[in-house]
Amino acid sequence: MIEMALNIKSLPKKKYVMPGHAACPGCPETIGFRHLGMALGDKAVTVIPAGCSAVIQGLWPKQGWGLPALNIVFAAGAATASGLARALERRGVDAHVVVWAGDGGTADIGLQSLSGAAERGENIIYVCVDNEAYMNTGIQRSSLTPHGAWTTTTHRGNPGTKKPIPQIVAAHRVPYVATASIGYPWDFIAKLRKAAKIRGFKYIHLHAPCPVGWRFDAGLTGKIAKLAVETGAWILYEYENGKLKLNPPSNRLLDPSKRKPIEEYIKLQGRFRNISPESLEVLKRDIDRNWEEIRTALRAQGDL
């Protein structure tokens, strides 16, 4: 188990997020960014398209990330990182270029540059910090908002379903695609370190519960992230050279009876407070379909 392999006390103690940054209390993105720093150290160079992460840096003349960060427009995260990675390589600088984009900057506005960089096989790590809506502009729905969730543009619950971005990127036949969660830092750190050793385009989709947008108490960020995995609403897996593998604890949850009921996860979130029984059924069906796809893929490669 990855949990055992990683000793928390041996992680770098350096501050990769500066205290006094502009994030809301309980922000998952800053937790994730700290883990990014712990995993890759000072070799990481981040490219940050518009989104919460660009706002969290705070106001000039200071910035709140403890790593070099290049701010760029929404649509150009992966394109900018492609150029930066090539320039650094030509100059002989040993660095890992990391795109740190939100779900809007990945699945909606930044999808074309993400797809382009993946297809060209640029040597970058792309991290999508998925808080399931446009949080910094006021909680508007994105294409990664789950079914039935309230946002300021879907008052009666999101009619759509979550876009399968990890599968879309994996379909580009890139060497490494993984999902991770704020609630499992050791898993995320191990995946980042694994990605840093691989040459080519690497994609990690980080699930990041947002207290403000999901309407829960700021102290529960870690708990809700863990519940998402334990109920099966979020699945931890990785595609290494196209081969799918479930990671703990999701590898024990292939059997639905092992999962906690989804109600435990959604009852803590204000965005699902008014969800209708029909929408809840659709949400459950979506989750079951995700698991069914994983089961089919595992069976197809002879692992089940």
Residue 209 sits in the site that holds other proteins (CB under 8 A): no
Which range, of 26-34, 84-92, 243-251, 254-262, touches other proteins by CB under 8 A? 26-34
Count, residues near other proteins per rule CB under 8 A: 41
Residue type, 13: K
Least distance between other proteins and beta carbon 103 (Å): 18
Q: Does position 155 bind other proteins by CB under 8 A?
A: no
Instruction: Write the binding mask 61 to 100 for other proteins: x where contact by CB under 8 A, - elsewhere.
Output: xxxxxxx---------------------------------
Stretch that binds other proteins, among 54-62, 100-108, 194-202, 291-299 (CB under 8 A): 54-62
What is d(CA 152, CA 218) in angstroms, rounded to the nearest whole number?
A: 20
Q: What's the min distance (Å) between Cβ of 96 and other proteins?
A: 17
Assign residue 232 a region (left: φ > 0; alpha: ψ between -120 and 50; beta: otherwise).
Answer: left
Contacts within 8 Å (CB) and 24+ apart, 298-304: 298/244, 298/246, 301/243, 301/244, 303/244, 303/245, 304/254
Whether the CB-CB separation of 45 and 96 falls below 8 Å is answered with yes
Q: Does 16 bind other proteins (CB under 8 A)?
A: yes
For β-strands 243-246 and 237-240, DSSP reports them as antiparallel
Of 59-67, 94-102, 171-179, 236-244, which part binds other proteins (CB under 8 A)? Answer: 59-67
Nearest to 97 by CA among 31, 233, 195, 163: 195
What 3-state class would DSSP assign to 301?
Answer: coil
CB closer to other proteins out of 67 and 233: 67
| Residue 8 within binding range of other proteins, rule CB under 8 A | yes
4 is an interface residue for other proteins by CB under 8 A: no
Q: Which is nearer to other proteins, 61 or 92 (CB)?
A: 61
- Which letter, b or e, does each residue of 51-62 get, where b requires 16 or more Cβ atoms within 10 Å of its Cβ? bbbbbbbeeeee
Tell me which residues touch other proteins (CB under 8 A).
8-9, 11, 13, 15-28, 30-31, 34, 57-67, 185, 211, 217-223
